[in-house]
């Protein structure tokens, strides 16, 4: 693959959108890593701060394991999972019970937990000529987003 081929891959299709989406996904997850423990532990005055973080990653893990068995197409999950996760998170935040918030966080993370594998899957299907470049750019964007 030449540099001209790489430029063409980047200019066509949805790869630039996926790279940007991965950056913001990393930014969101990095923020959640810090915020969840603080919010549940300090703001809600609960001893479940670290438990909330465990619930968060349990939701993500379950989503990634169960996604292949749901029958939901990756494109559909990418389109609607973020909205569903945001709705669940916004619905649970007004509660002052730490356990309810932990469960809501787990459900929210379950909604969008399979987002990264689905975005990688769709991007690779659309850039068959350069899946290495597509995944490398997307994962770099994810890590940069998490680092901010």
**Which band of pLDDT confidence, cut at 50, 70 and 90, is reported for residue 12?**
low
| Per-residue pLDDT at 56 | 95
Rounded distance between C-alpha atoms, residue 75 and residue 93, angstroms:
28
In the numeric block, which tokens belong to residue 57?
């990653």
Per-residue pLDDT of 74-113, as tens digits, reads 999 999 999 999 999 999 999 999 999 999 999 999 999 9
| Per-residue pLDDT at 127 | 85
Closest to 25 measured CA to CA, from 68, 63, 107, 82: 82
Rounded distance between C-alpha atoms, residue 22 and residue 120, angstroms:
9
SS3 string, 77-143, reads HHHHHHHHHHHHHHHHCCCCCHHHHHHHHHHHHHHHCCHHHHHHHHHHHHCHHHHHHHHHHHHHHHH
Per-residue pLDDT of 30-83, as tens digits, reads 999 989 988 998 888 888 988 999 999 999 999 999 999 999 999 999 999 999
Rounded distance between C-alpha atoms, residue 6 and residue 51, angstroms:
44
| Per-residue pLDDT at 133 | 86
């Amino acid at each position: 693959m030449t540099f001209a081929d790489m430029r063409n891959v980047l200019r066509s299709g949805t790869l630039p959108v996926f790279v940007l989406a991965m950056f913001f996904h990393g930014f969101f997850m990095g923020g959640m890593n810090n915020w969840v423990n603080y919010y549940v532990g300090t703001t809600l005055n609960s001893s479940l701060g670290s438990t909330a973080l465990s619930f968060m990653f349990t939701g993500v893990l379950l989503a990634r394991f169960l996604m292949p068995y749901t029958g939901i197409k990756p494109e559909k999950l990418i389109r609607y999972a973020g909205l569903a996760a945001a709705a669940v998170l916004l619905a649970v935040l007004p509660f002052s019970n730490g356990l309810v918030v932990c469960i809501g966080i787990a459900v929210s993370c379950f909604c969008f937990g399979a987002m990264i594998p689905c975005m990688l899957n769709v991007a690779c299907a659309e850039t068959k000529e350069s899946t290495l470049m597509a995944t490398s750019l997307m994962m770099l964007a994810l890590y940069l987003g998490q680092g901010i």
